[in-house]
Structure 1
């Protein structure tokens, strides 16, 4: 447990030193939140904008930031060297997931506080349901990011692949406007991908409605399939 705690502290220190990686998961979602809060009513802010902000926080951490750190550890031989110590390389993976989860927690809490206290958005009608859905979204986004980490040969390629994937699923999932503006097949595909599914179920949960089963199923399938792919494809050296 002591080694586990030290690894988490080391990961958080590395994150804190990466200024761009630390700011983007906070700055980009806050820009989306404030930019929309100035033009939409408070009820729409809570129902439609906050889910996009939450999905952006989770996606940037899980799909962009985390894979880049893991790719650096692999290409610099950190994981290979750990393999000959009592600390298995998988412990670094677990510590990176824990550090990412703490970043997500900070970003989500900050966005919710700004929306509710600063712009009059309604608090979640079903807090426990909202937390449960946030955990599922985080699992799906992180599993997707692990696949990126598994196939990216370098840190730069991990960032490039992660950004392309994140903005790709975000574009068809409602990040830049309602999916109703997209062609019907593209909109349906976007709602089935992690970002679109996250926006849909988070909006339902925040409003106290039962999340759409198709969205929950999409996120669960993504978590399982991407998790299995990551395990199969991931290289420690």
Structure 2
């Protein structure tokens, strides 16, 4: 038993080391790409600063539970970041890998394509986490926006939102043939999803039918959960279950139909 343990320990350590190196390499590639850093982080951060500089948007709204319009836009822009990374950056990168034969060649190496996918997911998740903390810090220190009153509830909602959107991004990658198709599909999904998150019209100002539809979209459910946390409540079950359903369902379909070449 001790000999077997001694033999397998270096192999396990080597695999762990390879995985960590792969994660670092994919993270560097994500940072060099223009989509994630510029459109996923820089663009919503700039919008956040512009909106925070408008005094009228920082007036309390009774219809929003005492929150300001700017308070509502902070979580919307956090969702914007998640959506850009999941709908555009992740699918185009992975579809490009498949189109260029990278995934096919990885299947013949000890690393394997699954580990490459995991590294891409970790890299995008890390960028989203840093962006979320950055947005909250700028909104708080720059414009006096308080942190969500229910931090644990906000954390749960963000984790489920990230899982749901990354799973949708994997599903897009699994079903589309190449990089251009992945970019077009992700863009086509991004704009209606952001509409139902309240980017252009706050959800509370939408007609009743659109509000109902919004609550069952991934970003609409995420926004509802975020707003609950900002108001000091743990998010209700419906938006959390909606996000969990998207995460589990899309991930299962993506794994089942994913094409490596």
Common topology (TM > 0.5): yes
Q: Does 2:213 align with 1:189?
A: yes
Deviation, structure 1 residue 35: 3.2
Cα deviation, residue 209, structure 1: 0.9
**What's the offset of the Cα at 1:47?**
4.2
Q: Is the 8 A contact 1:46 1:122 kept in 2?
A: no
Which residues of 2 match residues 37-48 of structure 1 at below 5 A?
A: 37=52, 38=54, 39-41=56-58, 43-44=67-68, 47-48=71-72
Bigger CA radius of gyration: 2
Question: Which residue number in structure 1 is paired with residue 49 of structure 2?
Answer: 34
Greater relative contact order (Cα < 8 A, sep 6+): 1
Dislocated runs of 4+, deviation >3 Å: 180-183
- Separation in structure 1 between the aligned mates of residue 175 and residue 188 of structure 2, nearest angstrom: 14
Whole-Å Cα distance in 2 between the matches of residues 22 and 157 of structure 1?
A: 22
Structure 1 counterpart of 2:106: 82
Matched position secondary structure for 1:176: coil
Mapping 1:50-199, distance limit 5 Å: 50-199=74-223
Q: Distance in 2 between matches of 1:139 and 1:47?
A: 24
2:36 aligned residue? 21
Alignment check: 8 A CA contact 1:46 1:206 kept = no
Conservation of the 8 A alpha-carbon contact between 2:35 and 2:89: no
**What 5-or-longer segments of structure 2 have no aligned partner?**
1-15, 60-66
Contact 1:47 1:203 in 2 (8 A): no
Query: Is contact 1:133-1:201 (8 Å) kept?
Result: yes
Structure 1: where are the runs of 5+ without partners? none
Q: Does 1:230 align with 2:241?
A: no
Shift in CA distance, 20/138, structure 1 to aligned 2, threshold 3 Å? closer
2:247 aligned with 1:219: no
**Equivalence for 1:2:** 17
